[in-house]
């Protein structure tokens, strides 16, 4: 199980607003079904699942702004692929919360 943070920025759109592009990219995740979990944040999207599936979905997400008219797209990925135990978005947050309780 991997956790990926992805930020997709459309460039050359003629407008500083990117909300329509974000919504279009988010639809790819909505169509992914149960195999991928995701969390939209104000600055990026966190997705969780099997790494091969995540990379396939990110590739599809990257194409969406082009399909919507962007002239250029910048996509940034951070991959957390822990193999010694199964990690989830919730587990990572709980681990930090426990440590904050000191």
Beta bridge partners of residue 74, listed in sequence order: 9
Model pLDDT, residue 86: 82
Q: Please list the alpha-helical segments (H only) found in the chain.
A: 19-30, 51-67, 89-100
Q: List the structure tokens of 36.
A: 């991928």
**Is the predicted pLDDT of residue 21 greater than 90, yes or no?**
yes
- Mean pLDDT of the chain, nearest integer: 94
**Tens digits of residue pLDDT in 43-97:** 999 999 999 999 999 999 999 999 999 999 999 999 999 889 888 999 989 999 9
- Statement: the pTM of the whole predicted model exceeds 0.75: yes
Helices 51-67 and 19-30 cross at an angle (nearest 10°) of 140
Average pLDDT for 21-41? 94
**Is the predicted pLDDT of residue 102 greater than 90, yes or no?**
no
Average pLDDT for 3-10? 97
Beta bridge partners of residue 47, listed in sequence order: 4, 38
Are 69 and 15 in contact by the 8 Å Cβ rule? The answer is no
């Amino acid at each position: 199980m991997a956790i990926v943070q992805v930020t997709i920025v459309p460039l050359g759109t003629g407008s500083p607003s990117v909300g329509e592009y974000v919504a279009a990219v988010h639809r790819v995740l909505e169509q992914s079904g149960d195999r991928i979990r995701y969390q939209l944040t104000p600055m990026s999207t966190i997705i969780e699942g099997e790494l091969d599936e995540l990379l396939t979905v990110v590739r599809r997400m990257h194409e969406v702004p082009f399909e919507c008219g962007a002239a250029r797209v910048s996509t940034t990925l951070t991959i957390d692929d822990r193999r010694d135990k199964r990690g989830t978005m919730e587990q990572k947050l709980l681990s930090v919360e426990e440590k904050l309780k000191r």
